[in-house]
Structure formats: structure tokens, C-alpha cells
Structure 1
């Protein structure tokens, strides 16, 4: 790949800091105009892309060096792909990524069961330390989890309507 400067004017908000009067450090910053010369370093050679790498839609290509421990897969991967179709300044980018993390945890637990391994969630969530040092906090977490799970089950099964009629 070549290192060709690209026109970034199509990106919403690009160059918003060009006007020195819009710069929060103006006029306190001692300006030498050195920052207008650009980077003085040579861009490193690009890392080969041999797996799916999700990157901002505000960048036309991946960064020179990137890392991903696991490529996106399953339902969480579909959610991540959806998130990366949206700008990083949008809730449609960040909220799906949060959801994808939670879905990925469930996928990992299901994968553990598929491989015949029963996960020790009590130990993996650090509940032994909570039991030793913060029993009240542990009871609160368990109570909230039980309440949210019960509410979700009632809503998903439609039983919440029957309970509402009783009260």
C-alpha cells in the first residue's frame, strides 16, 4: 500500500479546529507554526490484514499496526459489524458495542458447555473476594441479578400481564 495523503473534507467535523479563534488554548499557546509542517516521521510499513478487522468508517483503511485477539464471530460479531457502520460520535456505534460485549460473554459460556467444560462463574466473577471483603455488595449484586432475571423471564413469557391484573 502506498502512503498517499487523502482528502478528508467529506468527514463531518474535519478541520473544525483550523480557526485559531475556535482553539481553546488560543491566545495562551505560544504559536511557532511548527505544527503546520505535519509529521516529520516516515509511516511504518503496514501490517498485513489476514483476518477481519473492524475499523472506523471515518477512516478509509486500517491503521499501520492493529491488534485483535479474536475476529468477530457469531451474534456478537454481527452486532459489532452493525456498530462499525456508524460514526464513532453516534450512540448507534457505542451502544451496540456494549451489547456485543455482553452477548460475547454468553456465547463464551455456551461454548464452554459445548466443549464439556462447566465454567466456574463464582470464581471467574471474583465472588470469592467479594464474599471475603464485601458481603453486602455481593448480596446486593445477587439480589439485583435475581430481580432483573425474574423481570426478564416474566416479560418474555408474557406472565407480567397476569401479575398486573392481580394487583
Structure 2
């Protein structure tokens, strides 16, 4: 029976012993000594909880990029994306030359990301499974999930750069296609000239 919003007085809470007998484990944290958070509740300026003087360091398998402000790497760091190619050279230069407080540091890192995108695209063209610009850029989703209708009348900010998107996404593919066409055309014309 609910007593909310009625003039009747709700029943008093049960005694702790009654609750402990009825509910297994009830009141397990009543004793402060049993609470896991008690060491944090006590003020002890000498207590840190650390079981080490200095944490064990992750091995550095190759010279990692680090900011000029830091003398060493943190104890743990990521290793999944080692710098590679021209983008890696740009990243290493950014970390070696500029402080994190300088704009040039971040602009070089942004440029390295763009270069890495081009490098990845070129790498995919050289494999037997190149990227598919139709299915992997969301072009089909625009028609299937009402992409154009969702942009009209909703005051979305991405509409301001929407006219550039086909050029940004499509231009590299059109350029690669045109370059491939010219290379094949030149190779065929040389082959014909050699036959004559």
C-alpha cells in the first residue's frame, strides 16, 4: 500500500535486527571498519595507498615522440599507432621542435593527420582491396536515410560547409582515377608505338 500524497502516516522503519534476520547481508557496511571506503574517509597525509615508490615503467620499443616540456614518457603509453611515413616524420618534428603551448606544434600535428590520410588512401590503392568510396563515405546513406531532408529547416551548422564535402571526399578519388587513366593511356600508346 502506498502512502504517498495521502494523509495516512507511513509505517515506522523496521529495527536493524529484524531487517538483518529477514534480508541476507543487510547492514554489512554498518561497521565503519568493514567499509572499503574508510581509508579514504580518514585524513592521513602520509597515507597514499600506493604500493610502489615509482610505478613500473612500460618498455619503450622505439624512440617515442614526447613534448619538449617533458623529460621522460609517462609510465604507460599507447603503442598501437607507431609513426610511419612522411606523416610520422612530421609528427616527430613537431614534438622535437615545438612546445605544446605553441600553435605550430598543433598545426603540424593536424597536417600530419592529413598527410596520413593521403598515405593511407595511396596504400589502399596499392593493395588488392582498395577503399570503396561509394559504400565507405556514407553517400548511399544520404539517399536511404533522408540525409538531404534532415538538413533543411533544422538550423544545422554543417550546412555551411556541405557544398565543400563532395570536393573534399571526391576530389582525391577523381584525381587518382584521372592519373590512372593517363598512366594506362600513355602505356598503351607506347606499346602501340613499339609494335609499329
TM-score (norm 1): 0.56
User: What residue number does 2:26 align with?
Assistant: none
Worse overlay, 102-111 or 130-139: 130-139
Could you say what the CA RMSD is over the residues aligned between the two structures, in angstroms? 3.1
Worse overlay, 115-124 or 125-134: 125-134
**Residue 58 of structure 1: how far off its partner (Å):** 0.8
The yes-or-no answer on 1:116 pairing with 2:128 is yes
Residues 40-65 of structure 1: per-residue CA shift (max 9 Å, x gap)? 63332000011332111111111100
CA distance in 1, matches of 2:89, 2:163: 33
User: What residue number does 1:104 align with?
Assistant: 116
The yes-or-no answer on 1:82 pairing with 2:93 is yes
Q: Which has the higher contact order (CA 8 A, sep 6+)?
A: 1
CA distance in 2, matches of 1:130, 1:98: 28
Unaligned runs of 5+ in 1: 1-31, 150-167
Higher Rg of the two aligned structures: 2
Change (3 A) 1:143 1:50: closer
**Residue 140 of structure 1: how far off its partner (Å):** 2.5
The yes-or-no answer on 1:145 pairing with 2:158 is no
TM-score (norm 2): 0.49
Change (3 A) 1:83 1:133: farther
CA distance in 1, matches of 2:168, 2:134: 13
Change (3 A) 1:144 1:108: closer
Alignment of 1:1-150 (within 5 A): 41=50, 42=52, 43-85=54-96, 86-131=98-143, 132-135=145-148, 140-143=163-166, 145=168
**Residue 143 of structure 1: how far off its partner (Å):** 4.9
Aligned residue pairs: how many? 114
Unaligned runs of 5+ in 2: 1-42, 152-158, 173-196
**Residue 129 of structure 1: how far off its partner (Å):** 3.0
Change (3 A) 1:56 1:108: same
CA distance in 1, matches of 2:59, 2:116: 26
